[in-house]
Amino acid sequence: MSKRKSKENSFSLGECIAQVHMILRARFCHYIPGKPFGVEAQYKNLMDLIKQTAVHGESNSVLIVGPRGAGKTMLLRSVLKELMEMKQVKENLLQVHLNGLLQTDDKIALKEITRQLQLENVVGDKVFGSFAENLAFLLEALKKGNRSSSRPVLFILDEFDLFAHHRNQTLLYNLLDVAQSAQTPVAVVGLTCRLDVLELLEKRVKSRFSHRQIHLLNTFGFKEYVEIFQQQLTLPKEFPDGRFAQEWNQNIQSLCKDKAMEDILQKHFNSSKDFRSLHMLLMLALSQVAVSNPNIRLPDLLAASRLCTMDSKANVLHEFQKFIQRRTHSIHNFEKPVVLKAFEHLHQLELIKPMDGTSTRTQKEYQLVKLLLDSSQIMDALQKYPHCPTEVQLWASSALE
């Protein structure tokens, strides 16, 4: 492994590359969230709201609304990261994370609340008459030693709209009722991509909601998009090897000024400018960084862009061609069982479907089918097909013209 010396520290190139992967992968996966770009007002609003609960014991409820990939989770995690650096908040605030995809009914949700608050031993074998009594007991158990005040609890409800499908919306009703009554300092933060989420709530639940909403919409332009791209790839000042970080950041700056790089980013910006698709592009490009390739280059981003924009159906068809190739060497020696198996695989892959109006008495192998691919997808798959039989190429060029 090659060595490189720094004025500040002595790190091998391999160690620097490993640090780059660790820092940037954590950033792209939101494990170590940074401050979101272009949502300063929403950031401050959410920060003040949760801080009021954590420090002053005020109960609040709010909804963060925005399309998928807009940065709702990233915004919340960055706010919590900054708050947890405050000693008073870190010692007092408890967090409960619920997801509508996982906690599909109130019974499962209550068990998860008990587990995250670490109150299994307190509950024991007690029997409660209702959900409200059980929740009240859990919150009562969180009172401090002098039993004069309760510890503030932050309830984060991801996929908030799915909780509205629970029977009688019992969970939402009781959480919002506790927040409104101010018996215990509770903050309820819901994350959803549905703009009409309030229409899903029952009247009694809606009346207890504060009707605060924080909307996240990607309204930035292409210039800001390039700045986000550069910001996401820039190494921090705290990087162990200062010289390597400086060279890396200079390479990223020069890359952003490249016209070909702008064309790649413009293509992604036009199709989808959310953070999730950008992070996918950057993650694929980062996977090419190694000791033999210590910087992100334009060809790496170009290859990553092609993977992101790849036609899924054409890719599946290419894999299907490999399946056929393993079972026959020429199109002339197809056997009947192989053909039938091939059609079954095409149907399972949703590349063909039986045509409407065919008789139910028709034998399966004689049913007419409709190909769910256009000519460009077929030609793209054929170009990637190694040792493609000449008969297939001639059929494609004549039949698809």
Secondary structure of residue 170 in the 3-state scheme: helix
Cα-Cα end-to-end distance for the chain: 54
63: CB partners within 8 A, 6+ apart = 160, 189, 190, 191, 192, 197, 198, 212, 213, 214
Q: Is the pTM of this model over 0.75?
A: no
Q: Is the pLDDT of residue 198 over 70?
A: yes
Residue 100 has pLDDT above 80, yes or no: yes
- Phi-psi label, residue 198: left if phi above 0, alpha if psi -120 to 50, beta otherwise: alpha
What are 112-122's pLDDT values in tens digits? 988 888 887 77
Q: Is beta strand 3-5 parallel, antiparallel or unpaired with respect to 10-12?
A: antiparallel
Is the distance from CB of 71 to CB of 275 less than 8 angstroms? yes
Question: Given a cut of 70, is residue 311 above it in pLDDT?
Answer: no
Which pLDDT score, from 0 to 100, does residue 305 have? 86
| Tens-place pLDDT, residues 120-146 | 777 766 656 677 787 777 777 766 544
| Ranges 38-47, 63-72, 256-265, 370-379: which has the least confidence | 370-379
Between 328 and 346, the more confident residue is: 346
Q: What is the pLDDT of residue 96?
A: 92
Tell me the pLDDT of the chain averaged across its residues: 79
Question: Has residue 360 got a pLDDT over 60?
Answer: no
Per-residue tokens: 270: 């036009």
All structural domains of the chain with their residue ranges: 3-26+220-308, 38-215, 312-399
Report pLDDT for 385. 65
- The pLDDT-based confidence of 357 (bands split at 50, 70, 90) is low
Q: With pLDDT > 90 as the criterion, what percentage of the chain qualifies?
A: 21
For residue 238, give every residue at least 6 positions away whose Cβ sits within 8 Å of its Cβ, in sequence order, or none.
none
**Residue 218 pLDDT more than 90?**
no
Structure confidence at residue 5 (pLDDT)? 44
Please state the φ and ψ torsions of residue 32, each to the nearest 5 degrees. Answer: -120, 85
38-215 homologous superfamily: P-loop containing nucleotide triphosphate hydrolases (3.40.50.300)
pLDDT in tens, 151-172: 888 999 999 999 999 888 988 9
**More confident: 390 or 213:** 213
